[in-house]
Amino acid sequence: SQQGEEDPQALSIQEGENATMNCSYKTSINNLQWYRQNSGRGLVHLILIRSNEREKHSGRLRVTLDTSKKSSSLLITASRAADTASYFCATVGRDDKIIFGKGTRLHILP
């Protein structure tokens, strides 16, 4: 069963612009994680935010979490060509199960 649902499914922006991806989920979580996947490769962990946190930063990444709306967003600032990838949110429930969304495909245009 899918828990996290990313929005939009695909996003194309010009290099240098900011990219925002959203994730909505249905049930209570312990933490929420964002991953990046380059084509044909495995996933790379980007950032983890716990249910009692509202915002976290890591370099050009900013993640917010709103547990009342059951949603999270990932902001990538000053995008680069190397940011072209699929981005997945994954929720970890109180039963320790992790569930991945279907991802947002981000394409950075030169």
Judged by the rule CB under 8 A, the positions of this chain that interact with other proteins are 1-2, 4, 30-31, 33, 35, 40-45, 48, 50, 88, 92, 94, 96-98, 100-103
> How far apart are CB 23 and other proteins at their closest, in Å?
11
Single-letter amino acid code for the residue at 100:
F
Identify which of residues 35 and 70 has a Cβ nearer to other proteins in the complex: 35
Identify which of residues 14 and 96 has a Cβ nearer to other proteins in the complex: 96
> How far apart are CB 25 and other proteins at their closest, in Å?
12
> How far apart are CB 102 and other proteins at their closest, in Å?
4
> How far apart are CB 38 and other proteins at their closest, in Å?
10
Identify which of residues 79 and 104 has a Cβ nearer to other proteins in the complex: 104
Q: 7 burial class (0-12, 13-18, 19+ CB within 10 angstroms)?
A: middle
Beta strands in 1-110 (DSSP E): 5-7, 10-14, 19-24, 31-37, 43-50, 55-58, 61-66, 71-76, 85-92, 98-100, 104-109
Q: Which two tokens stand for residue 22?
A: 């959203």
